[in-house]
Amino acid sequence: MPNESSNLASSQSPSTQTSSTQSPQSNRPKPSRFKLTYDILMIVAISIDLLLISIDAILMSNFSSNVAGWLTLSDALNWYQGTLHDPLRTAGGFFTIFLVVELLLRWAIAIKEKVYYRWFFFPFVHWYEVLGCFPQLRALRLFRVVVIGRRLYQLGYQVLPQSWIDRIKFYIDLLLEELSDRVILTAIDNFRVQLTDTKTHKSLIESTIARNRHEIETALLSLLRTELAPKLQALTASPGGNNMLAGAMGEAIKEGLANTPELRRYLRMIPIAGGLIESQLQHVGHNIGENVVIALNERLLDAERLDALMVAIASGVAQIDTNNTALDTLISSIIEDSLTAFEAQIKVQQWKHQDMLNL
C-alpha cells in the first residue's frame, strides 16, 4: 500500500519537473505510476461509496417514503428497501473493513520508513481517516478524497477543471471572509460597549499613556526639533528675521523715549543742543533695542540651549496628568474615529470586486 504522506513529500508532476526554477517541487522525484493509479482508484472508490451511502440514506428516510407516495412510486421504493438495501449495507461494511486494513498497512509502512518523528504520530496526522472508519462518521472519508485530490493537483495533475477549482476557491474565500468579518465586527461592538464604562475608559487612557510615555516624549522631541527649532533658529540665522524683530524692538524704545515728557522737558532746557541731543538719544535707543534683541537671539537660541529647551518641553508634555477632561475627549474621539474607519473597511466585501467575479 502506498503511503499518502510519502507521496506528498516525494512526488513531482511532469509539467513542473521540466522547469527547476518554477517550484521547490521540481527537485523531487517523479511519483511512481502505481502510487498515482492507487490514489486515483481510492478517489473513485471512496466517492462511489459515499454516493451510495448518501442515496441509501435518502431512500430509507421517511421523506422518501412520503415523496414516493405522492409520486405513486411506493412499489419501486419498497423493492429497493427490501432487495437492495441490505446488500448495499453489506458491501459498505466490507469496504469499511478494507479501509481499516489499508489504514493499518499504511501505518506499518510509515513506521518502517520512519515517515514521522514517532511511530504513534500517524493516527493523529490522519485523524479523519481513523474516524471515517466508524460507520456513523463515514462522511469524514470525503476529507481523504479532498486530500488526495489536492495532492494530485499540487503535482500538476488536473483532477478537476480549472474553472471548478477557481469557483471553489472563490466560495471558500467568500465564506472565510464573511465569518472573519462577523467576528471582527462583533469584537468592535463589544469594545465600544466597554469604552462607555467610565472606569474602563479611564483605565485604558492611563495604561496607554503610562506604557508609552517614553515613546510620546521621543515623538514630541522629534517633532519639535524638526518643526519648531528651525523656525526659532531662523531668527538669528536670517538677516531679514533679525531686522524685523530687532527693528520692532528699536522702534518701541524710540517711541518710549519720545513719549517721555519729563525727558523732553529736561532736554529742551538745554539751549540750542537740546533738540539735537533728543534726536540722537532716540537714535541711540533704537540701536540699543536692535542690538539687545540680536544679542538675546544669539544667546537664547543657541543650538545647545535650544535643544535643551526642546527636551524639557517634550519631557514635560510626556508627564501629562491623565485626569484631564480635554485629554479624555481627545483620546475618545481618536479611538472612536479609528474604530469607525476600521469598521467601514471591514464591511467592504472584497469578494464582490469585479476582478474576483470573473470566474
Q: Return the minimum-mean-pLDDT range out of 58-67, 75-84, 143-152, 350-359.
A: 350-359
d(CA 191, CA 122): 43
d(CA 25, CA 13): 8
d(CA 175, CA 178): 5
Instruction: Say how many C-beta atoms besides its own lie within 10 A of residue 27's C-beta.
Output: 9
pTM: 0.42
The residue among 104 and 307 whose pLDDT is bigger is 104
d(CA 279, CA 249): 17
Tell me the pLDDT band of 187, cut-offs 50, 70 and 90: confident
- CA pseudo-torsion sign 318, 319, 325, 326: negative
Mean pLDDT calculated for residue range 24-29: 46
Residue 216: the pLDDT is: 83
Residue 272: the pLDDT is: 65
Q: For the segment 299-335, what is each residue's pLDDT rounded down to a tens digit? A: 666 677 777 878 888 888 777 777 777 777 777 788 8
What are the phi and psi torsion angles at 237 (to 5°)?
-80, -25
Tell me the pLDDT band of 275, cut-offs 50, 70 and 90: low
Residue 352: the pLDDT is: 66
Q: Is the pLDDT of residue 354 over 70?
A: no
Tell me the pLDDT band of 234, cut-offs 50, 70 and 90: low
280 and 263 in contact (C-beta within 8 Å)?
no
Q: Return the minimum-mean-pLDDT range out of 50-54, 89-93, 153-157, 182-186.
A: 153-157
Q: For the segment 119-140, what is each residue's pLDDT rounded down to a tens digit? A: 888 888 888 888 888 877 888 8
**Please, which residues have CB within 8 angstroms of residue 36's CB and are 6 or more apart in sequence?**
152, 157
Residue 8: the pLDDT is: 38
Q: For the segment 242-273, what is each residue's pLDDT rounded down to a tens digit? A: 556 667 777 777 777 777 777 667 666 676 66
- Cβ neighbourhood burial of 22 (10 Å; 0-12, 13-18, 19+): exposed
State how far the alpha carbon of 255 is from the alpha carbons of 30, 199, 286, in Å: 99, 59, 9
How many C-alpha atoms does 256 have within 13 Å on its Cβ side? 11
**Mean residue pLDDT across the chain:** 75
Q: Is the pLDDT of residue 5 over 60?
A: no
Residue 347: the pLDDT is: 77
d(CA 341, CA 152): 43
